[in-house]
Amino acid sequence: MENTEIIRETILKIFSFLNIEPEILIENNNGRVRANVSVTEAGFLIGYDGENLRSFQHIVSLLVAKKTGDFSIFSSFVFDINNYQKEKEDYLIALAKNSAHKVLETGEAVELGVMSAWERKVVHLTIEQIIGVKSESIGDGEERRVVISPENV
């Protein structure tokens, strides 16, 4: 059985315990699998700032990895509900680009707010593609944030 089918079955089983029948769209782009679940009442499934969504992703990844023996799923799988994660990623990319342009215009570093590891990764990957700026994470624990600064500093 293909991993995408195992992912679909795993999601359906989890949601059956919640008495929810989701629509599931699974895309596989160059080994990166994205599953988007569409439901009518998404708020409690996503949770505050996506906390429940991240938990669902972890649970689905664990179950699929256990079933397939393929633990690379932890780095190649994205679980989303009503495109929340995708919209957040688009926002972070725009934030990173806008902040980078501000750094290029002013020559001064820009410190972004507290972010999760995934959010920081999106920002860092975006900044890598912009000439003249660099990014680094600062802070400890849940207070980690990204600073975008001129590359020559």
pTM for this model (two decimals) = 0.82
CATH number at residue 11: 3.30.300.20
Q: For residues 100 and 132, state if they share a domain.
A: yes
Q: For residues 72 and 10, state if they share a domain.
A: yes
Q: For residues 97 and 72, state if they share a domain.
A: no
Which residue blocks in the chain are alpha helix, DSSP H?
A: 3-17, 43-46, 51-68, 73-76, 84-106, 117-128
Tens of pLDDT, residue by residue over 8-24, are 999 999 999 999 999 99
Q: For residues 78 and 96, state if they share a domain.
A: no
Q: For residues 78 and 92, state if they share a domain.
A: no
The whole-number pLDDT of residue 1 equals 53
Residue 146's φ and ψ, nearest 5 degrees, are -110, 140
Residue 84's φ and ψ, nearest 5 degrees, are -55, -50
Tens of pLDDT, residue by residue over 20-79, are 999 999 998 887 889 999 999 899 999 998 999 999 999 999 999 999 888 887 778 899
Give me 32's structure tokens. Answer: 């990166």
The whole-number pLDDT of residue 86 equals 93
Tens of pLDDT, residue by residue over 81-103, are 999 999 999 999 999 999 999 99
Report the domain count for the chain: 2
Q: Are 14 and 59 in contact (CB under 8 A)?
A: yes
Q: For residues 93 and 23, state if they share a domain.
A: no
CATH number at residue 131: 3.30.1370.50
Domain hosting residue 129, numbered range: 88-150
Q: For residues 139 and 95, state if they share a domain.
A: yes
Could you give the CA distance from residue 55 to residue 113 in angstroms, rounded to a whole number?
22
